[in-house]
A and B are shown apart, each in its own frame.
Chain A
Amino acid sequence: MELTRRPELPVRPAPDTIAVSRGGDPWITTKLDFLVNWGRANSLWPMPFGTACCAIEFMATAASKFDLARFGMERMGFSPRQSDVLICAGRVPFKLAPVLRRIWQQMPQPKWAISMGACASTGGMFDNYAVVQGIDTIIPVDVYVPGCPPRPEALLYGIMMLQQQIKTERMRDKTLRDEMEPDPSSKLYIPPDLIDELSEPFGNSVHQTRSAP
C-alpha cells in the first residue's frame, strides 16, 4: 500500500525577525510564515471528542483553574467544521471508529489531532475485542499525551508541544496540508500487517489468544 508521508524537514527555530516602524505611518515587516503560524498557534479551536474519564480531565483543563483560554483555546468547537484541533480524550470502541474518522474528515484544513491518555493512544488496559488499539490507526495524530488519565498540566504541555510544532511549519512545504488518503479497499492508513504487529499480545491477557476454542 502506498502511504503518503510528509518529508522530513529540518526543524528551524521560529523566526523572530520582526521590524516595527518608529514614528510616522505604522508599518511592520516580518516573515509571512512567522505571522501565520503565530496566529494559528495562538488561536487553536479544540474539537473535544471525549468518551471516558480523560474527558473529565479535559473539562478541568478548560475550566477556570487551569484555564485553557490562556492558550487561545477558550472556544470549544462542538462542530468539527469550525475547529482546528481534535482532542480525542478516552477509549474509542470499534463502533465509534467510523464516527471518529468522519469527524476528522469533516474538519477543514489546517487541522491537528491530540491523542489524550493511554486508551486513545494505545488502547491502554482495554486489550480486548471491542476497543481500537490506538486512534493513530484511524486518524493521523500529532501529539500523544500519556497518562491514565493525564493531569491537566500534562494536557497543557501537549498543547504547548503542538504550538511549537505549528510554529515550525513552512508554507513552502506543499505536502503539509495533504490529506492522508486511506487505502480504498481496507480503508486503513497503516498497512494491516503493521497494525497486527503493533497489537501483538502483551500484558495480563497473553494466555488467551485468538486460536482459543
Chain B
Amino acid sequence: MSDGFAVVYPGTGTSAEPATPRHVPNRGGAENPSAAALRKRFPGAVKRVDVVWGETNVEIAGSRAEEIVRWLHDDPSQSYEYLSDVTAVEHRDPSLPIEVVWHLRSLKFRRFLRLKALLPKGKPLEVPSVWPVFRSADWLERECYDMFGIRFTGHPDLRRILLWEQYKEGFPLRKDFPLRGRFSRSEQLRQALAANPEARYSMEELSVADAFEELPVDVRTRLKGGERTGE
C-alpha cells in the first residue's frame, strides 16, 4: 500500500515483535519520532521530552498549544487524526503547576503522543483551545473547564457541562476544593432545587438541532428574546 501503511490483522503479523510490547521500562526507551520532529519544527516551544512506560510525553509552551496540535494534525508526516482526551492534572504539592494534557493518536502511523502544558499557580489558567482543529475537543474542554476552571481561549461555547450552569461553589477537582463542597447541605439543596430543569440547552444547541420550529410557542418566544439559561 502507499506511504508505507499496511493493514495487519490479528494473528497474522510476521514481525518478531509482539503486538503489545512487554517488559517496557518505567523511564527511557524508544522515543516517539514525532517528538524529534516537534523539536525541529518548534524549537522554542518544546521544553522537555520524556518517555514513561513506553509513552512519549512532550512538555510544550501552553500559549502555542493550538499551533502545535494543528501542525501535528495537518502535517502528512505526523497525521494525528484523533484527539482522544483533553484533561488536566493538579498535584498535591501546591507549589507544582497545573498540567493540561492532550492525548493524540495517529491511526495512520500507530503512534500515541501526550502533550502537556504547565500552568503555574497564581496566574490565569488559560490555554488556547484546539477546537478549530478537532471538533471533538468541544465537550472535552468544557469538562476540563467545569472541573478545573481552565479557560480555553477560542472555545466557542465554554460553559459548564457536568454541573449546572449556576453552580457557584467553584471547580470540584481542584485540590483546594473540599470534598463536600463549600456550602452547607441545605444551601446546596436549595440552590439545586432553584434550578429550572428545562433550562439546560443554549439557543445554539437548539438551533443546531433544527428543533426550534417544533418547540412550544412560549419556549420559542423566550429563546428569541435571547434567554439562554432561563435562570
Residues of A within 8 A of B (CB): 94-95, 97-99, 101-102, 127-130, 132-133, 137-138, 182, 186-188, 192-193, 195-196, 198-199, 201, 205, 208-213
Contacts and interface: CB of A to CB of B under 8 A. Distances in A.
A91 to B, nearest CB: 14
A174 to B, nearest CB: 28
A210 B186 contact: no
18 contacts: A95-B164, A98-B197, A128-B179, A130-B172, A130-B181, A133-B185, A182-B193, A186-B190, A187-B190, A188-B190, A192-B190, A195-B184, A201-B180, A208-B180, A210-B180, A210-B181, A210-B182, A212-B176
A212 B190 contact: no
A1 to B, nearest CB: 11
Interface in B32-74: none
A209 B185 CA distance: 12
Given A133-B185, A195-B185, A128 B192 contact: no
B185 A95 contact: no
Interface in B128-148: none
B64 to A, nearest CB: 33
Interface residues of B, number: 27
B184 A213 contact: no
B181 A129 contact: yes
Contact of B187 (A132, A138, A192, A198): A192
B184 A192 contact: yes
A96 to B, nearest CB: 8
Contacts of B163: 95, 130
Contacts of A94: 164, 188-189, 191-192
A97 B186 CA distance: 13
A210 B177 CA distance: 9
Interface in B143-201: 162-164, 169, 172, 176-197
Given A130-B172, A192-B186, A192-B187, A95 B180 contact: no
B189 A188 contact: yes
Contacts of B181: 128-130, 210
Nearest to B186: A192
